[in-house]
Structure 1
């Protein structure tokens, strides 16, 4: 009971077609599930209509009004959150002040030579600019004293 080559090819093609159809059905089924029900009531947008010269300005104003209304509604909450953040930041700053100062001190000690070298190089590079600024400051101070 051996199958010849032609029958094997036919059988293979049939199985392949079945498999493809099964995959397609699965894909279509999963696609139906994936459409989010919250978007089903949204209408399709006609961009040519929405973005023409007359409607564009009107739509932008409408969007701006909606955004402003939303912000106005939430203004108290936003201000409260900003205040909370400031307080939190301030308490954190106060709490960790000593640690930070200690760390800065250690860092400066560790990097003292590198910083000196950096400052020397910086001054060499920008000597003219620095001197010019100093002259302008002295000049403006003299003018204030005389004026």
Structure 2
């Protein structure tokens, strides 16, 4: 067998494998689709439910139900927020040294670029920066 025949055989086997894989995919997709039976949703007639003289009262009832739902979940929501904050703080404390080391290496690596950036930034915003410094000095003198 020469190289050309090997390539053709490889291509033929690859295409056969690809076809088999696709058939399997389509078959499993069809099976899954047949497994799932569409649920019949109950059709809610808003017109009959909300029509009439007590429309305002019904809207108020809906608002009360929604508020009740949020109030019931309030404790859980606050607990989840606290838990997230604690996890975030723990992660911060665990990786503090790594982050500081990374920052130090980054600053060393990009020392000249950062210096040049700061110089250009200062030149560009010189007037604004000097004005802010003057205002801060005035505020400090007034406080003293």
What TM-score comes out, normalization by structure 1 length? 0.60
Q: How many residues align?
A: 105
What TM-score comes out, normalization by structure 2 length? 0.61
Which of the two has higher C-alpha Rg?
1
Root mean square deviation, CA, Å: 2.7
Aligned to 2:45: 44
Gaps of 5+ in 2: 1-33
Look up the SS of the partner of 1:93 in the other structure: helix
Q: CA deviation at 1:140?
A: 1.5
Separation in structure 1 between the aligned mates of residue 104 and residue 65 of structure 2, nearest angstrom: 52
Q: CA deviation at 1:130?
A: 0.5
Look up the SS of the partner of 1:65 in the other structure: helix
Partner deviation per Cα, 1:78-130 (whole Å, 9 max, x = no partner): 12211211111111111111111111111111111111111111111110001
Gaps of 5+ in 1: 1-29
Q: CA distance change for structure 1 residues 74 and 131 in 2, over 3 Å: closer, same or farther?
A: same
Separation in structure 2 between the aligned mates of residue 125 and residue 93 of structure 1, nearest angstrom: 35
Separation in structure 2 between the aligned mates of residue 132 and residue 77 of structure 1, nearest angstrom: 49
Separation in structure 2 between the aligned mates of residue 64 and residue 137 of structure 1, nearest angstrom: 51
Q: CA distance change for structure 1 residues 95 and 45 in 2, over 3 Å: closer, same or farther?
A: same
Q: CA deviation at 1:64?
A: 4.0
